[in-house]
């Protein structure tokens, strides 16, 4: 099967050689080709160039041609941080917050993550798959082509395995590329209140071996925060995860400057995520590491948190990734177009920086930058065609709209 997209107004984020990530001031650059063509063969990008250099079609067998006049072609968004397998919803907590309660107060009263854990316990694996497929379909229509999904609303051996088995099934059911993360250390479950040590033992001694045995997770994540897991506990859990083949990730510096970034860097985390309370010490540590700092504008926006110092991090020479954090408590949206808009509007990132953050750098944060995150020959053919828009800056500018017209994943048109 071959696909040719011709007369493309602008082919965005092209690379002649695949880069692992884009760092610091290089994030200001976004390589584009005007009046371009893109060829796809089977599930891979086969070639691209300017229309004037196009040699025409010699073999029409199994070839589909799409005319993209006045439209852009972009690499699919990569969303390296979500919790999109969940049960029910939490708009009652949202309303309580509108009336003045804080996220922390709601959590301390048994709401928050524990609320989602209770709902998930009552929901079957099949129902969870069905709910998650609806959300995957929604983000696919908004341009996302690769996504990481975490457990962490189970908080017991059986329920964590249930979540991770759901993610495993989603990998076969959805055309999106999916990565799986074990986040048993998301909260201390009600049954272990006052016995955190015993819960950590359960995570390490019982959950991890089973997860490794069934090959259910590529990553291990910890919510490193006051009233959740300390930096020391985070390191212990992540080191144990590494022994079971899971690469570390951390929920870090979201509600306070608590030490999650340093813990993550120490363990060689692939990414540290949130970062609202990052300071100079964390920036310095990240500069000496291969860890991808990842901001989650949906959660900061929805919880009215202070903005992460995105500008300062990039100006210091750091790479930056952006992800949605799609979850029922702190970011009930997985719309990467909106995440990019918040990056530009509130964090003063340029559209180029935001697009690099949402493609190649977010791909890096889930070990996908060799195959995803840019238009490069040999990469997975995961792209979208926009509606007729003036340029890529129009996407964050017209926030709240969806300009994704057609989606191509693994070389196949999945949205027409």
Stretch that binds ligand NIG, among 40-48, 232-240, 323-331, 363-371 (CB under 6 A): 323-331
Note whether 38 and 7 are within 8 A (CB).
no
Note whether 346 and 302 are within 8 A (CB).
no
Residue ranges in 167-206 that form contacts with ligand NIG under rule CB under 6 A: none
Stretch that binds ligand NIG, among 20-28, 129-137, 320-328, 374-382 (CB under 6 A): 320-328
Asked whether position 299 contacts ligand NIG by CB under 6 A, the answer is yes
Is the Cβ of residue 153 or residue 384 nearer to ligand NIG in the bound state?
Answer: 153
Asked whether position 333 contacts ligand NIG by CB under 6 A, the answer is no
The site that binds ligand NIG (CB under 6 A) totals a number of residues, namely 12
Choose from ligand NIG, Fe ion, none: what does 330 bind? Cβ within 5-8 Å by kind.
Answer: ligand NIG
Please name which of 181, 152, 272 lies closest in space to residue 224, comparing C-alpha atoms.
272
Quick check: helix, strand or coil at residue 61? coil
Is the Cβ of residue 325 or residue 367 nearer to ligand NIG in the bound state?
Answer: 325
Minimum Å gap between C-beta 186 and Fe ion is 8
Stretch that binds ligand NIG, among 30-38, 130-138, 166-174, 325-333 (CB under 6 A): 325-333
CA distances from residue 190 to 106, 111, 199, 206 in whole angstroms, order as listed = 14, 11, 10, 18
Which residue from 276, 325, 352, 353 is in contact with Fe ion, where contact means CB under 5 A?
325
Stretch that binds ligand NIG, among 206-214, 230-238, 259-267, 326-334 (CB under 6 A): 326-334
Residue ranges in 10-69 that form contacts with ligand NIG under rule CB under 6 A: none
Stretch that binds ligand NIG, among 232-240, 312-320, 327-335, 405-413 (CB under 6 A): 327-335
* Cα distance from N-terminal residue to C-terminal residue, the chain: 17
- The Cα–Cα gap between 141 and 401 comes to 12
Distance between alpha carbon 352 and the CA centroid of its chain, in Å?
18
Which residues lie closer than 8 Å to 374 by C-beta, 6 or more apart? 13, 14, 15, 18, 19, 75, 359, 360, 363
Which residue from 37, 77, 219, 223 is in contact with ligand NIG, where contact means CB under 6 A?
223
Residue ranges in 233-262 that form contacts with ligand NIG under rule CB under 6 A: 251, 254
- The Cα–Cα gap between 369 and 227 comes to 35
Minimum Å gap between C-beta 93 and Fe ion is 16
Instruction: State residue 271 phi and psi, 5-degree precision.
Output: -150, 155
Please name which of 376, 374, 350, 375 lies closest in space to residue 362, comparing C-alpha atoms.
374
Is the Cβ of residue 231 or residue 411 nearer to ligand NIG in the bound state?
Answer: 231
Note whether 232 and 240 are within 8 A (CB).
no
**Which residue's CB atom is positioned nearest to ligand NIG?**
329
Asked whether position 159 contacts ligand NIG by CB under 6 A, the answer is no
The single residue listed with the structure tokens 């590329």 is 177
Which residues lie closer than 8 Å to 261 by C-beta, 6 or more apart? 250, 252, 253, 272, 275, 278, 282, 285, 286, 293
Quick check: helix, strand or coil at residue 54? coil
Choose from ligand NIG, Fe ion, none: what does 337 bind? Cβ within 5-8 Å by kind.
Answer: none
Stretch that binds ligand NIG, among 60-68, 163-171, 324-332, 342-350 (CB under 6 A): 324-332
Alpha helices in 215-258 (DSSP H): 231-243
Minimum Å gap between C-beta 81 and Fe ion is 6
Asked whether position 113 contacts ligand NIG by CB under 6 A, the answer is yes
Q: Give the footprint of ligand NIG on this chain (CB under 6 A).
A: 112-113, 116, 223, 251, 254, 299, 325, 327-330
Where does this chain bind Fe ion (CB under 5 A)? 325
């Amino acid at each position: 099967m071959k696909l040719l997209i011709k007369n493309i107004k602008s082919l965005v984020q092209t690379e002649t050689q695949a880069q692992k990530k884009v760092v610091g001031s290089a994030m200001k650059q976004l390589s584009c080709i005007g009046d371009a063509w893109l060829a796809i063969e089977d599930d891979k990008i086969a070639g691209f160039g300017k229309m004037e250099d196009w040699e025409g079609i010699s073999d029409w067998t199994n070839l589909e041609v799409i005319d993209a006049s006045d439209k852009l072609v972009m690499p699919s968004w990569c969303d390296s941080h979500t919790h999109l397998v969940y049960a029910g919803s939490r708009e009652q907590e949202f309303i309580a917050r509108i009336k003045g309660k804080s996220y922390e107060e709601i959590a301390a009263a048994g709401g928050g993550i524990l609320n989602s854990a209770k709902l998930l316990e009552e929901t079957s694996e099949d129902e969870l798959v069905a709910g998650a497929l609806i959300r995957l379909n929604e983000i696919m229509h908004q341009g996302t082509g690769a996504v990481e999904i975490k457990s962490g609303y189970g908080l017991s051996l059986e329920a964590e395995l249930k979540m991770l088995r759901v993610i495993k099934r989603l990998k076969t059911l959805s055309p999106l590329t999916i990565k799986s993360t074990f986040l048993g250390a998301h909260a201390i479950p009600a049954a272990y209140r006052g016995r955190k040590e015993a819960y950590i033992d359960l995570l390490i001694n019982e959950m991890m071996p089973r997860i490794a045995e069934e090959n259910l997770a590529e990553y291990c994540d910890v919510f490193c925060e006051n009233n959740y897991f300390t930096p020391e506990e985070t390191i212990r859990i992540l080191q144990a995860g590494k022994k079971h083949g899971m690469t570390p990730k951390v929920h870090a510096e979201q509600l306070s400057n608590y030490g999650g970034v340093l813990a993550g860097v120490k363990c060689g985390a692939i990414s540290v995520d949130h970062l609202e309370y990052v300071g100079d010490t964390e920036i310095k540590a990240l500069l000496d590491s291969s860890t991808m700092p990842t901001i989650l504008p949906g959660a900061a926006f929805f919880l009215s948190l202070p903005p992460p110092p995105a500008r300062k991090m990039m100006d210091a020479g750091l790479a930056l990734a952006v992800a949605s954090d799609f979850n029922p408590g702190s970011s009930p949206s997985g719309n990467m177009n909106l995440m990019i808009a918040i990056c530009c509007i509130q964090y003063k990132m340029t559209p180029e920086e935001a697009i690099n953050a949402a493609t190649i750098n977010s791909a890096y944060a889930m070990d996908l930058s060799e195959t995803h995150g840019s238009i490069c020959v040999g990469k997975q053919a995961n792209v979208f065609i926009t509606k007729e828009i003036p340029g890529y800056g129009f996407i964050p500018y017209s926030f709240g709209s969806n300009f994704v017209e057609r989606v191509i994943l693994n070389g196949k048109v999945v949205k027409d």
